[in-house]
Each structure stands twice: as C-alpha cells, then as structure tokens.
C-alpha cells in the first residue's frame, strides 16, 4: 500500500463578495466548488439557482455573454451537421463581434442582471467566461462600435494576428498569432484595454464576482516578446486591477475570483501567470481520466498535482467543455465514471473543483443529447453522490489530507484529518479492501449507498461496488 501525506490548507485568501457596492472582500477557504453551467441560457441558470445552491455549489460559471458571431442562421443547436433540421454551433459564442453584454445564444443584458440577482438571493457567486484574445473567424462581422473604439479595424489586431500559430511553444507565435482561424486581438492597445475594461466593469456592476479567462496563455506576459504594434505586455496588469488605463480601473479587484485557461505544455510559464491569477490544472484532469480508463488510481499517481504552482492556486476538473466537445477526449466516459472521479477530486484539500454540466439527455452514443443551446444540462450536478461530496468538502475545510491506495491500485482513499475518509473504486469490478485510515475505530455507514465499513486499529475494511464511492464521516454531513 502506498501512503502519501500532503500539507494541509494554508491561510485563507481574499475572494468575492456578492454586493456590487461592497468594498470589503469576503474571505474564503479551499472548500469551494464551481458548477460550469455550460451552454445554459441565463434564464435557465436563474431558474435553477436554488437547486445549484442546495447541491453545494458556491459558484456558477456562465458561458461567454458578449456579442458574438451569428452562425448557421442563428440556430439553437449545440452542434449541427449538414442536413440537420435544426442548425447551430455552441462555439459561436466564443467568437466575439463586440464587448457588450448579451447575445442571441444565451440571453440579454437584462437576463444577465436577473441571473445575478437570483445568485445573490441564494448565496452563489457568478463567474463569467471572458475572451479578450480574439474575434470571430469572420472578422468582418465585428460591429462598428468596437472598430471605432480602437481607432479603426486595423488597430484591433496584432501585427501577427492573421498569421496561424504553428508552434504553440514559441511564445511570440502563441501570444500574437492566429489560433484556429481566430484573428488575434491587440490586447496591448490601450484603446482596446479601455473598451474591454468597460465591459468587465459593466458585468461587475450587474453582479458578476469573477472571471474565467479563455485562452489565457495566448495573452502575453511582461517577459514575453512584444508584437510590433505593442509597447508593453501589460494586459494582465490592467485586467487584474494592478494598473488603470486612460483613467479607468477594474472595479472591486480584491473581491473578484479570477482564473485563466492556461493549458499546460512545454513553455507555458505557469509560475508567471500565477502572479496574476489562478489557473486550470489541465494535466491533473488528464491523469484522473487515465485512472478511470485503466481502473488504477495508484498507477496514475493521483497524489500529484502535475503542476508547478501551489495547488491552492488551481482550478481542477475531471473534464472540461473542451475535453468533452472538441475531440471528445472525455465524452466516452460514463456519467458514473465522471462521478467517481469527482468524488475523489472534491475530497482533496486543495484546488477549486469545477463540475462540467454535460448536455441534457446526453449518452455515450449521443454526446449532444437533446442538442439545444440554452437547456439545462443533465441531472448529474445534483446527483446524491455529487451533492454529498460537495457538502463534505465544506464540512472538512481546513483539515489536512492523507492519500492511500489499495494494493492493486484500484481503490483511492482520501482521508481528511481524523474526521472523514472517502473511498473510490476507479475500476469496474467489485473490490474488497483492507486499507490504512485515519478515522477512529468503529462502524461507519456510508450515506446514500448504506454500505457499512469497519475501522479497527487504523485499518478500514469493506466492499466497494464497481465505480462505487463511499464517504465515511465521524459527524453527520449536512
């Protein structure tokens, strides 16, 4: 059996308060969980806010809400193919035509305000997916207000902005070139920074309390090469409130939770990005999925975070909308597999776990399900095991973690102090275990399943069903 001890949680960090007028940030510990309400209409999120809160989620992340490219005739499909009766593509909202609130896919500015009001009522914080790095592939669709704000269309893009990236580890190409056909915005242009910051501040005034920065690693850091049109790589100083631009500064910078999609690679500069924001732990998600595919958590090394920065600065996931949608890297995993890994992930002491809401009606044969933008995702976000794991995370906040594996590696165990232990069977076979545990001696009945485990002399014994998850706690979890 492998035994690994990980340091406990450090000091609390400043995060978000729910009132736009507030100037004193709330304090948070490493017990928060995020629901990614992917492709849900803003009204749909608002109407389900009570359920989101009751499921133990502290934050809800929206898809991009800025003006966007109207493709496939403005159809409502998540992903259509030629000949389908209903057309549409989810990724059109990742193709900005202006930085103003509201688009045809997810809702209006008024819908956004109503959603934030609902979030405030139920104590949930709103994170908005923002993407200043590029415009729509069809850059002629950019609206006149944006062009005028930056002094003309030609000033909107980097000098290299229409040159495709061929080497993503070349920082000049990565931060100034065209990614996937998307023209690269000159994020160092002060006129653009000012215009974009007005959009962000408008979101904050309406109730947003944080942001996920899409393609963050494609926006330059101070140490990166300069585009010929740029004088300084200072976008992140502006976006995180360290500097103002043309007399305008980020509102409430100490009360916002900001993280970036910084997908890991050979030359990603994670430690420098960490000076500005938290970031995604993309490699850890990869190894979680490997554990599910192989049925072996020990072999995947799930005690590691596979990231050079402190794990308290990470947003973690089992899967993201990109791993599900783009190459369907994770879409073949069953809901039960995703759920098992989520329970393990959320039991850990660090990171902020993000739960991706898969499409309504989706199956392993039909990844798009009912195939409608705006609909609520499937029921997994309030599955009893997901809710239990979210609530356990809150209950054991601040407790150090110890990780054990069964002899064959199929079962991973996360102990939180001497208060709770979570056992997860990553395999699709029954497992009978005797493993070390930090719980006091006694018999423990796992909620939901009702399975009984015995703890004696620092060893827990019991049976685990395929992909079964079992939460053992000294105190009731509420």
Determine contact, residues 330/11, Cβ cutoff 8 Å: no
Task: Encode pLDDT of 245-279 as tens digits.
Answer: 999 999 999 999 999 999 998 889 999 999 999 99
What are the helix (H) ranges across 207-308?
235-239, 270-273, 282-294, 297-300
d(Cα 287, Cα 292) in Å, to the nearest integer? Answer: 9
Strands (E) in 349-447, as ranges, are: 352-356, 401-405, 411-416, 420-425, 431-436, 442-445
Dig out the tokens for 48 from the structure: 């389900």
| DSSP conformation letters of 152-175 | SGGGGB-TTTTSBPS-TT-HHHHH
Give Cα separations from 161 to 15, 81, 176, 177, 225 (angstroms).
34, 29, 6, 5, 14
- Torsion sign, CA atoms 325, 42, 192, 72: positive
Determine contact, residues 443/452, Cβ cutoff 8 Å: yes
Structural domains in the chain, CATH included, are: 11-398 (3.20.20.80), 405-473 (2.60.40.1180)
pLDDT for residue 376: 98
pLDDT for residue 27: 39
Which residues are annotated as catalytic? 214, 261
Helix (H, G, I), strand (E, B) or coil at 353: strand
pLDDT for residue 4: 39
Helix (H, G, I), strand (E, B) or coil at 401: strand
pLDDT for residue 19: 33
pLDDT for residue 264: 93
What backbone phi and psi angles, to 5 degrees, belong to 476? -60, 145
Determine contact, residues 421/472, Cβ cutoff 8 Å: yes
pLDDT for residue 30: 72
d(Cα 359, Cα 403) in Å, to the nearest integer? Answer: 33
Q: Sheet of 459-464: strands edge to edge?
A: 431-436, 459-464, 452-456, 442-445
Length of the chain, in residues:
478
pLDDT tens for the chain, 478 residues long, are 443 333 332 222 223 333 333 323 333 457 999 999 999 999 999 999 999 999 999 999 999 999 999 999 999 999 999 999 999 999 999 999 999 999 999 999 999 999 999 999 999 999 999 999 999 999 999 999 999 999 999 999 999 999 999 999 999 999 999 999 999 999 999 999 999 999 999 999 999 999 999 999 999 999 999 999 999 999 999 999 999 999 999 999 999 999 999 999 888 999 999 999 999 999 999 999 999 999 999 999 999 999 999 999 999 999 999 999 999 999 999 999 999 999 999 999 999 999 999 999 999 999 999 999 999 999 999 999 999 999 999 999 999 999 999 999 999 999 999 999 999 999 999 999 999 999 999 999 999 999 999 999 999 999 999 999 999 999 999 9
Residue whose tokens read 């993503």: 168
d(Cα 130, Cα 197) in Å, to the nearest integer? Answer: 11
Helix (H, G, I), strand (E, B) or coil at 202: helix
């Amino acid at each position: 059996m492998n035994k690994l001890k990980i340091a406990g949680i450090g000091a609390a960090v400043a995060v978000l308060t729910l009132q736009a007028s507030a100037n004193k940030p709330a304090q948070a510990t490493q017990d928060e969980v995020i629901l990614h309400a992917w492709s849900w209409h803003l009204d749909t999120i608002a109407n389900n806010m009570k359920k989101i809160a009751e499921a133990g989620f502290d934050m809800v992340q929206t898809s991009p809400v800025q003006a966007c490219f109207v493709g496939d005739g403005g159809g409502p499909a998540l992903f259509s193919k030629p000949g389908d009766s209903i057309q549409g593509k989810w990724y059109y909202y990742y193709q900005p035509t202006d930085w103003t609130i509201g688009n045809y896919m997810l809702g209006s500015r008024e819908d956004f305000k109503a959603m934030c009001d609902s979030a405030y009522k139920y104590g949930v914080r709103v994170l908005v997916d923002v993407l200043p790095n590029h415009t729509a592939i069809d850059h002629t669709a950019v609206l006149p207000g944006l062009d005028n704000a930056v002094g003309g269309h030609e000033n909107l893009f980097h000098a290299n902005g229409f040159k495709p990236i061929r080497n993503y580890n070349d920082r000049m190409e990565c931060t100034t070139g065209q990614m996937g056909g998307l023209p690269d915005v000159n994020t160092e242009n002060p006129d653009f920074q000012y215009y974009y910051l007005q959009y962000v501040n408008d979101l904050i005034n309406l109730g947003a309390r944080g942001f996920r920065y899409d393609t963050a690693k494609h926006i330059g850091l101070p140490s990166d090469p300069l585009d010929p049109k740029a004088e300084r790589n200072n976008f992140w100083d502006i976006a995180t409130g360290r500097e103002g631009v043309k007399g305008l500064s980020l509102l409430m910078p100490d009360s916002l939770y900001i993280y970036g999609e910084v997908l890991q690679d050979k030359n990603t500069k994670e430690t420098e990005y960490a000076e500005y924001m938290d970031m995604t732990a993309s490699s850890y998600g990869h190894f979680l999925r490997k554990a599910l595919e192989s049925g072996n958590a020990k072999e995947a090394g799930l005690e590691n975070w596979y990231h050079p920065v402190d794990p308290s600065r990470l947003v973690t996931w089992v899967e993201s909308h990109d791993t599900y949608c783009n190459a369907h890297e994770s879409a073949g995993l069953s809901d039960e597999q995703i759920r098992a890994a989520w329970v393990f992930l959320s039991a850990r002491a660090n990171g902020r776990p993000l739960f991706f809401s898969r499409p309504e009606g989706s199956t392993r044969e039909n990844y798009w399900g009912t195939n409608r933008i705006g609909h609520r995702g499937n029921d997994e976000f309030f599955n009893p095991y997901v809710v239990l794991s979210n609530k356990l995370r809150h209950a054991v906040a601040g407790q150090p973690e110890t990780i054990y594996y069964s002899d064959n590696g199929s079962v991973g165990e996360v102990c939180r102090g001497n208060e709770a232990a979570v056992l997860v069977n990553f395999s699709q076979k029954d497992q009978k275990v005797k493993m070390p545990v930090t719980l006091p001696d006694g018999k423990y009945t796992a909620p939901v399943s009702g399975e009984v485990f015995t703890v004696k002399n620092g060893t827990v014994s019991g049976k685990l069903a395929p992909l079964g998850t079992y939460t053992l706690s000294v105190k009731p979890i509420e």
